[in-house]
Structure 1
Amino acid sequence: MFGSVPAAAARPDSVSDQADARIEESPVHSVTPEPHTPDPIVSDSQTFKRAFADMRAGFGQRELWLSLGWQDIKQRYRRSVLGPFWITIATALQALAMGLLYSTLLNQPLREYLPYVTIGLIVWGVISASILEGADVFIANEGLIKQLPSALSVHVYRLVWRQFLFFIHNAAIYVLLIVVFAVWRDLGWSLLLAIPAILLLFANAMWVSIVFGIFATRYRDIAPILGSMTLMLFVLTPVMWSTKALQDAGGQLSDRAKLVEIVPTYHYLEIVRAPLLGDPVHWRSWAVVGVITVVGWVVAVFALKQYRARVPYWV
């Protein structure tokens, strides 16, 4: 009995020895696997593809911004008898008052000066609204941005559409003036140049609203700065005063008067107003507006690419 105990106790040792021998003879060694590193998550929110997609998606939602833009006008003149026609009446009264006053002060014929001032005020209304309301376009729509799943550009389309409706309402004053003062006699085929000029005007209103809207949302000091800048531009731009008063005997602007061409808003005003009055437009104005349009849209696309996703957190 007692002789069997050592033999039984020796079996485990012999088994472990055999196992150790097999491990030593095996050509494969145990290797501890390295921990798997997850692939980095790459966000496409800051890409040109998403920026252009936002513009396309916003335009595709045109039923939304067309309706909202029209509702903005109806809400402004809600419960009034004349409704949106107050837009035309207010602009007409302002143009009539300023036209009568400044034509007397500057010794200008009313037949020439009143249409000049009227068109200037109509175009300037689009320019100033693009700057001032464009800077506030995202802040004013904070609720919709946070609650409505839509493209960011919808609010820009809405603003530009609203300004286009204002422009159409005010254009009725111009039609009335060219009939009353027989301005139509001075118009020629150059009148057609007003069509691309107006399209350029609203194309610039788009990029101005995008750029100023994004940066004014991030830096709230920009809006007051733009307000002061717009007032300064109104004084420097020949809206109320005519460049004809600065011409020499040969009909050319004097050297000092040519400083007005430094002001970019002068060229926007010139390419729209000159064809509507039957006056020639210098190629420099078209070139300046074209260059500013291209550069402005490049900046707008970069701004959308870089900061589009952050606007909802800034408002």
Structure 2
Amino acid sequence: MSYHDAVWDVTEALANFHLAALLGWQDVAQRYRRSRIGAFWLTINMGVLIGALGLVFGTIFNSPMNEFLPFICVGLIFWGYYTQIVSEGCSGFISSSDTILQLDIPFFTYILRVWYRNTVILAHNLVIFPIVLLIFWKSIGFSALLAVPGFALVTLNMTWIALMLAILCTRYRDLIQIVQNIMQVMMYVTPIMWMPEHLPERASHAMLDYNPFFHLISVIRNPLLGQSVTATSWIACACLAVAGWSLTLLLLRKYRARIAYWL
């Protein structure tokens, strides 16, 4: 199979994005059918989690609550978003095996489906952030607009990660558990429930600079908190996207014809 076939799969899925959006929206609607609150149940659960962990870890680290709670709020919301895309990406092809075996749809459509439904849930959870800001009478400036290109970079990275994992996990099913364990560990070594300044200077270099998820969080969280994003984080996310997509397209080119046989 040529490299062109892999590129065609991705571009065709993007050209027919409405199909992935429709499937993703149906997933959300079906999950919360007969529920009056719907997806906002997840928002309520996330709000309770943010409040509880914010109070506990803010007290442990002796951090001012007006700084720590908005920090952990954005961190937990987007970490949950990343975790769900990675986790559901692993089974992106497996969970859609019936459709894949019957219809000739670009494989990347199923990844866009995962991305879309989790982005809808993210939009619900983001309602919590302005509420937290109102509680502490904090405001955000025009620098928050930098979160938009930050989210674009995050989307580029999360989609190739999900596509790569979908291919590998379809072939090696045990990899799903390994990835889930890795994500659990990464949550504790990424500044989600603790702030970068809580680390000693020697440890912060290794745990932050070489942690891709730190950069993926920073390009969105820092603008929303009125903080600047370092050039290192922008460059790291951009390079990660280019390298990741190059490798993933090679993987898709090599194994695209075999995915259906692995299901």
Instruction: Name the TM-score class by shorter chain.
Output: over 0.9
Distance in 1 (alpha carbons) for counterparts of 2:238 and 2:143? 18
Alignment partner, residue 116 of structure 2: 161
Alignment partner, residue 26 of structure 2: 71
Q: Deviations over 1:173-195 (max 9, x none)?
A: 112222222221xx333212111
Q: Structure 2 regions of 5+ residues with no counterpart?
A: none
Distance in 2 (alpha carbons) for counterparts of 1:84 and 1:126? 14
Distance in 2 (alpha carbons) for counterparts of 1:297 and 1:182? 41
Match of 2:44 among 89, 99, 118: 89
Mark the structure with the bigger radius of gyration: 1
Distance in 2 (alpha carbons) for counterparts of 1:68 and 1:135? 18
- Which runs of structure 2 are paired with 1:1-315 in the superposition (5 Å)? 46-184=1-139, 187-246=140-199, 254-261=201-208, 262-315=210-263
1:80 match: secondary structure:
coil
Alignment partner, residue 14 of structure 1: none
**Which structure: greater helix fraction?**
2
Q: Structure 1 regions of 5+ residues with no counterpart?
A: 1-45, 248-253
Amino acid at match of 2:162: S
1:281 match: secondary structure:
coil
1:94 match: secondary structure:
helix
Preserved CA contact (<8 Å) 1:267 1:286: yes
Preserved CA contact (<8 Å) 1:183 1:277: no
Distance in 1 (alpha carbons) for counterparts of 2:108 and 2:241? 18
Identical aligned pairs, as a percentage?
A: 33
Once the two structures are TM-superposed, the CA of residue 59 in structure 1 deviates from its matched residue by 2.0
Higher RCO structure, 1 or 2 (CA under 8 Å, sep 6+): 2
Distance in 1 (alpha carbons) for counterparts of 2:228 and 2:12? 40
Q: CA RMSD in A?
A: 1.3
Q: Deviations over 1:154-206 (max 9, x none)?
A: 1011011111111111111112222222221xx33321211111111111111
Once the two structures are TM-superposed, the CA of residue 150 in structure 1 deviates from its matched residue by 1.3
